[in-house]
């Protein structure tokens, strides 16, 4: 283990700069979260909004009907993309009901 000695005044100046840096990073992250991240929908939101099952949602992803983004293992959707497929989902629901099925 190695120790490095610095003057107290230099250490305090470094700490102030680090705290300022930390504060700025948090401000930027919070501003970006407020503008974009809270608008994205997750699987549960989309299933509830479209009144579909998770399996139907998987099919919409698989066949390219609904664009998505994946961060780690969590999937997110832009609200405008979800709203854009409402008519398709309703048409599929009508067709399924006609055939005696559910989606």
Is the confidence at residue 8, as pLDDT, over 70? yes
Q: What is the pTM of this model?
A: 0.59
For 52: left if phi > 0, alpha if psi spans -120 to 50, otherwise beta; the answer is beta
- 40-98: CATH topology is Multidrug-efflux Transporter Regulator; Chain: A; Domain 2 (1.10.1660)
Note the pLDDT tens digit of each residue in 19-40.
998 888 888 777 665 555 468 9
Mean pLDDT, range 41-52, rounded to an integer: 95
Spans of all domains in the chain? 7-39, 40-98
Contacts of 49 (CB under 8 A, 6+ apart): 41, 82
Q: How many CB atoms lie within 10 A of CB 59?
A: 15
User: Which residue in 35, 45, 34, 33 sits closest to 75, CA to CA?
Assistant: 45
CA–CA separation, 80 and 77 (whole Å):
9
């Amino acid at each position: 283990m190695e120790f490095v000695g610095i003057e107290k005044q230099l250490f305090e100046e470094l700490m102030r700069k680090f705290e300022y840096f930390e504060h700025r990073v948090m401000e930027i992250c919070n501003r970006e979260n407020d503008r974009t991240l809270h608008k994205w929908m997750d699987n549960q939101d989309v299933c509830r909004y479209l009144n579909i099952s998770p399996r139907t949602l998987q099919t919409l992803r698989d066949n390219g009907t609904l664009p998505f983004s994946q961060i780690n293992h969590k999937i997110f959707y832009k609200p405008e993309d979800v709203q854009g497929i409402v008519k398709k989902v309703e048409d599929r629901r009508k067709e399924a009901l006609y055939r005696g099925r559910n989606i």
